[in-house]
Chain A
Amino acid sequence: MRCKLWFLQLVLVSGLPLCAVAQQMCPPRPTDGAAIANPLDLYSQNGVLTLNLALLSQIGPTGFTHYCYVYVNNGNPVEAPTLRVNPGDRLVLNFTNNITVTGRPPKSRHAPMQPMAMGDMDAAAAQNNPCLGGMVTATTTNIHFHGLNVAPICHQDEVVKTIIPNNGQPFQYSIPIPANDPPGLYWYHPHPHGFSAPQVLGGASGALIIGGTNSLTQGLTERILIFRRNVDAVTDDDGQFTVNFETANYPRHPLPVINMTAGQQEFWRVLNASTNGFLALQLLAPAAQQLLVISVDGIPLTTPTNMTTIYLPPAGRAEFIVPALAVGTPSHLFTEGFDTGPIGDPMPATSLANIVVGPGKYDEVHTARAVPPPTEAPRFSGLASVTPNTTRALYFSELNVGTNGPGQFFITVPGQKQKLFDPKNGPAITTKVGSVEDWTISNQTGEPHAFHIHQVHFLVTAINGVSVTNPYMADTITVPYWIGTGPYPNVTVRMDFRDPNIAGSFVYHCHILDHEDGGMMATIVVQP
């Protein structure tokens, strides 16, 4: 009977019947050692992509919680589809929070997560309006459309006051994709402060691609690779990478398999959706191959660049062309390991996937559809030549009660008091639409941090005071760790607040999500 009631509700909400969702089950994830397939693609039609998506949770076999974004495709639940839109389209996402269980959280160095009030509690309760805030708890959620340069308002990309309860009520996101948004790889994930890490660690994330035309990639097989981390039952450690939900933990698990057709280049779009993992990607065949990087964090490089190692912080993306390989070439997708400093989570070198190069064609990937050329010049154009009107500094710092936590994590403007994130703190930075600013973000801790700001990308101009030879756009960047003596490592970026569409209040934070949940986030207000 319960299934029938849910059936009716789902029909009304999604137009599609599905008892599997009604039973609150995440779809099964791929078995270890299987060939890696692209996530299901959902394309916009006539300028609109409309879909129904639910966030479910269930306790996995290790006692930790799986969180899954579920889309119903022809009656079958599918996890974390790729959302494909074009510049100028509208994304309409009818979202339902169906979190029902929250199991044992993974170890974390920040204090036990406590519910936090966001926005106007009384108004939110009285009006039953998720846009007005409420108490953020383990069963509330929202969605951040990471990298999209859209408005920081409810129903678009706002994460502080938008608190969606698990009451079964659909909540609609309706996002106009700017006609000048650069074509590339973006992503979506939960962002309820204090509970982002467990939900993302549980698997709640997916790719969002803004289509575009690039002669370098036209006709190439396109592969979407999403790296996440999951919790290992034996070590109680969230240090196991997964690739499209397949565990990459050799030799305890068979490696995932990437089937490549011999003699053909491929176009790989890679997302590091892990909560804390730093990747140093290499393609070993058997030596490290040259990978032609064409885009970082969704924005095309001015000049495509060959690299043998691609560094991706948590939330980082890279799109690159993989060279053609000969049949039988022993090949691996590999992370070289990343030095996370004296107190960071270790990131040792490890193989992530076994690449099998054969003569055949494989149906788990395909060529992306062609899209019409953009109608406007990409935004951020010419930013490098703009004279900034303001310079600012920020710094990351931490306080640790012990080696295993709880800890306190801060991002602070010098001269201001260190404060754990709280919406009641007010903005740490206030600026105006039209402002172009150079920010230098330093790191006073013994581990790297991943600086991220919502709503805009920034131009990376200098690292440790040394100008970057080829400045590039990004929305997340690693700030190296401090060794305990000498100057604090830092990066300098150029912020572009010229677009009036992004006026409002939004946040910047470390994208190591334990740190963000632990307080390493602050608010900026861009006045109209």
Chain B
Amino acid sequence: MPLALAAMCSAAGPAAQGDKAQTPSSISVVVNEDTGFPTPNALSFYQAAGTQITYQSSVYTGGFGIQGGFFGTSRLNSVPSLSAPCLYVSDAGSNDIASISLSTQQAVGTFTGSQTDDGSSNGISLAVNTSYLYASFTASNTIGTFAVQSGCGLSFLGDVSAIGLQGGSVSGMAVNGKMLVVAYGDGSIQSFSVTGGMPVSNNDLQNSTGYTAPNQNWFAGPSMPSGVDITQDGRFAIFGDISATSTVEVSSLTTGKLATTLAYSLTSVEGTGVDAGAVRLSPDESLLYIANSESGTVTAAFFNATTGKIMRGCMSKTLQGFNFRPWLGSVVTRDTTGTGSVLYVAEFGRDYLEINHGPATAIGILTVTSNGKTCTLTEASTSPVQLFYPGALSIGVYPPRPF
């Protein structure tokens, strides 16, 4: 079914869609809605062109969300390969993983882990490589492993326990072919070897430097890693911190374990953000994008992929209408090369039945410029694009970043 027709069919709300060819020139922006019982969870597709996005369709996941949770959690993710056009979405309210075919934009099915897996407290984070999907369940403190199968299917393999040093549950995680890196949202971090599929702890559970070093002069208070990204070569893990300043931490993975993190406070000439919840490297790894979840700004920092060092870059103004849409979720790039050119950021909304709480959830759109020494982040005139339902904290782009 052509995209335009899909949009017409879905004007009244989410609905399963028909066939749709995914052409290389077509860029889909996908956002979760995370709607909770009794409203079915859904995600929506938008077609990207320039700084505009156009609503295409919505699809029910087949489960229920919880309309919120951790900022650093990736509630939707895809196999980082064009050969597997599959999108996975977590249903934290019904404790399952929904699979969506990107080529058909139809739900393939829902897949469950063990009977005790429970993500109802703060969501289910998903990390995917070409062979396995890892799902962290925040209420049961478990990480489930699923084998990625042809046709976008999943096969549950088993659980491992995952609890932070202070008792926290996984707030964010990222995976490559060898290692799964998690942040617990209580100040601690950990890595697991995934060479055999199931995660095996690298015995490096530790508190981050930002959490344990409150005496550094820039440091305004305790800091808790939340979102995670890993460089393409697997040498560095980067954490976005919940902190009074826009703080990120970098850990070397070269020894096969998480090294002690280096913490960076990213106050720029524009000021500082609050709560660097989600982080995302640009496709060329020259920039690190940070969604400052509580101040409604996005920060770009210069990243040296050779040394792992971070330099201050730039910060956007507070996104338009942010005071009515508290909290930012994840941030992704439009393009799969260079700086990514355009950023999309999920703006969480509030239930519009609540008094004096205005528009619901939205997608923020920003343009990026960088000459390697200075940069700008400017909200597009087309931003924000308001969504149908509150609850967007995760956003993705297809074709995906290649790592």
Quick check: is B205 within 8 A (CB to CB) of the other chain?
no
Instruction: Name B's interface SS.
Output: loop
Interface residues of B in 336-395 (CB under 8 A from A): 348, 350-351, 354-357, 393
Contact B186 A400 (CB under 8 A): no
Quick check: is B333 within 8 A (CB to CB) of the other chain?
no
Contact A417 B221 (CB under 8 A): yes
Quick check: is A429 within 8 A (CB to CB) of the other chain?
no
A selection of 27 A-B contacts at a CB cut-off of 8 Å is A111-B167, A342-B326, A342-B357, A346-B354, A399-B243, A399-B294, A400-B71, A400-B275, A401-B72, A401-B171, A401-B242, A401-B277, A402-B71, A402-B226, A403-B393, A404-B121, A405-B122, A406-B185, A417-B220, A417-B221, A418-B220, A419-B221, A420-B222, A446-B326, A483-B323, A484-B296, A484-B318
Contact B70 A402 (CB under 8 A): yes
* B301 → chain A closest CB, angstroms: 19
Contact B323 A402 (CB under 8 A): no
Residues on B with C-beta less than 8 A from A348 are: 354-355
Q: Which of A111, A397, A403, A420 has the most CB of B within 10 A?
A: A403
Residues on B with C-beta less than 8 A from A27 are: none
Contact B224 A403 (CB under 8 A): no
The 10 residue pairs across chains A and B that have the minimum distance between CB atoms: A484-B323, A418-B221, A403-B68, A402-B70, A342-B326, A401-B185, A346-B354, A339-B356, A483-B323, A343-B326
Interface residues of A in 395-419 (CB under 8 A from B): 397-406, 408, 410, 417-419
Quick check: is B80 within 8 A (CB to CB) of the other chain?
no
Contact B224 A401 (CB under 8 A): yes
Quick check: is A487 within 8 A (CB to CB) of the other chain?
no
Contact A408 B242 (CB under 8 A): yes
Quick check: is B214 within 8 A (CB to CB) of the other chain?
yes
Quick check: is B66 within 8 A (CB to CB) of the other chain?
yes
Interface residues of B in 18-77 (CB under 8 A from A): 66-73
Quick check: is A112 within 8 A (CB to CB) of the other chain?
yes
Residues on A with C-beta less than 8 A from B254 are: none
Quick check: is A219 within 8 A (CB to CB) of the other chain?
no
Interface residues of B in 104-135 (CB under 8 A from A): 121-123
Q: A328-348: contact bitstring with B at CB < 8 Å (1 yes, 0 no)?
A: 000000000101001100111
Quick check: is A114 within 8 A (CB to CB) of the other chain?
yes
Given contacts A348-B354, A402-B69, contact A408 B222 (CB under 8 A): yes
Cβ-defined partner of B166 (8 Å) among A114, A337, A410, A419: A114
Contact A402 B123 (CB under 8 A): yes
Interface residues of B in 228-252 (CB under 8 A from A): 242-244
Residues on A with C-beta less than 8 A from B67 are: 403
Contact A418 B244 (CB under 8 A): yes
Q: Using a CB–CB distance below 8 Å, which chain B residues touch chain A?
A: 66-73, 121-123, 166-168, 171, 185-186, 214, 219-222, 224, 226, 242-244, 274-275, 277, 293-294, 296, 318, 322-327, 348, 350-351, 354-357, 393
What separation, in Å, do the CA atoms of A410 and B192 have in the docked complex? 34
Cβ-defined partner of B171 (8 Å) among A342, A402, A419, A420: A402
* A347 → chain B closest CB, angstroms: 8
Quick check: is A485 within 8 A (CB to CB) of the other chain?
yes
Q: Which of A112, A399, A401, A405 has the most CB of B within 10 A?
A: A401
Contact A400 B327 (CB under 8 A): yes
Given contacts A402-B171, A406-B168, A484-B322, contact A417 B219 (CB under 8 A): yes
Residues on A with C-beta less than 8 A from B354 are: 346, 348
Residues on A with C-beta less than 8 A from B318 are: 484-485
* A466 → chain B closest CB, angstroms: 22
Residues on B with C-beta less than 8 A from A483 are: 323
What separation, in Å, do the CA atoms of A107 and B139 have in the docked complex? 11
Residues on A with C-beta less than 8 A from B226 are: 401-402
* With A339-B355, A399-B221, A403-B68 already in contact, 18 other A-B pairs whose C-beta atoms are closer than 8 Å: A107-B121, A111-B167, A111-B168, A339-B356, A342-B323, A342-B350, A346-B351, A399-B243, A400-B242, A400-B293, A401-B122, A401-B242, A404-B68, A408-B224, A419-B214, A446-B323, A446-B326, A484-B323
Given contacts A339-B355, A417-B219, A484-B322, contact A111 B70 (CB under 8 A): no
Q: Using a CB–CB distance below 8 Å, which chain A residues touch chain B?
A: 107, 111-112, 114, 337, 339, 342-343, 346-349, 397-406, 408, 410, 417-420, 446, 483-485
Given contacts A401-B242, A418-B244, contact A406 B186 (CB under 8 A): yes
* B350 → chain A closest CB, angstroms: 7
What separation, in Å, do the CA atoms of A399 and B243 have in the docked complex? 6
Cβ-defined partner of A402 (8 Å) among B68, B166, B324: B68
Residues on B with C-beta less than 8 A from A401 are: 70-72, 122, 171, 185, 224, 226, 242, 277
* B277 → chain A closest CB, angstroms: 8
Residues on A with C-beta less than 8 A from B242 are: 399-401, 408
Contact A399 B274 (CB under 8 A): yes
The residue on A at minimum CB distance from B71 is A402
The residue on A at minimum CB distance from B67 is A403
Contact A399 B244 (CB under 8 A): yes
Residues on A with C-beta less than 8 A from B221 are: 399, 408, 410, 417-419
What separation, in Å, do the CA atoms of A418 and B68 have in the docked complex? 26
The residue on A at minimum CB distance from B325 is A342
Residues on A with C-beta less than 8 A from B326 are: 342-343, 446
What separation, in Å, do the CA atoms of A446 and B357 have in the docked complex? 12
Given contacts A417-B220, A418-B220, contact A400 B323 (CB under 8 A): no
Residues on A with C-beta less than 8 A from B327 are: 343, 400, 403
What separation, in Å, do the CA atoms of A400 and B241 have in the docked complex? 10
Contact B357 A402 (CB under 8 A): no
Residues on B with C-beta less than 8 A from A418 are: 220-222, 244
Residues on A with C-beta less than 8 A from B275 are: 399-400
Cβ-defined partner of B185 (8 Å) among A347, A349, A402, A403: A402
Contact B355 A346 (CB under 8 A): yes
* B88 → chain A closest CB, angstroms: 20
What separation, in Å, do the CA atoms of A505 and B306 have in the docked complex? 52
* A9 → chain B closest CB, angstroms: 36
Residues on B with C-beta less than 8 A from A405 are: 122
Residues on B with C-beta less than 8 A from A484 are: 296, 318, 322-323
Q: Which of A112, A402, A408, A484 has the most CB of B within 10 A?
A: A402
What separation, in Å, do the CA atoms of A418 and B243 have in the docked complex? 10
What separation, in Å, do the CA atoms of A111 and B123 have in the docked complex? 15
The residue on A at minimum CB distance from B348 is A403
* B253 → chain A closest CB, angstroms: 23
Contact A400 B324 (CB under 8 A): no
What separation, in Å, do the CA atoms of A111 and B68 have in the docked complex? 16
Contact A112 B167 (CB under 8 A): yes
* B233 → chain A closest CB, angstroms: 29
Given contacts A417-B220, A484-B323, contact A402 B355 (CB under 8 A): no
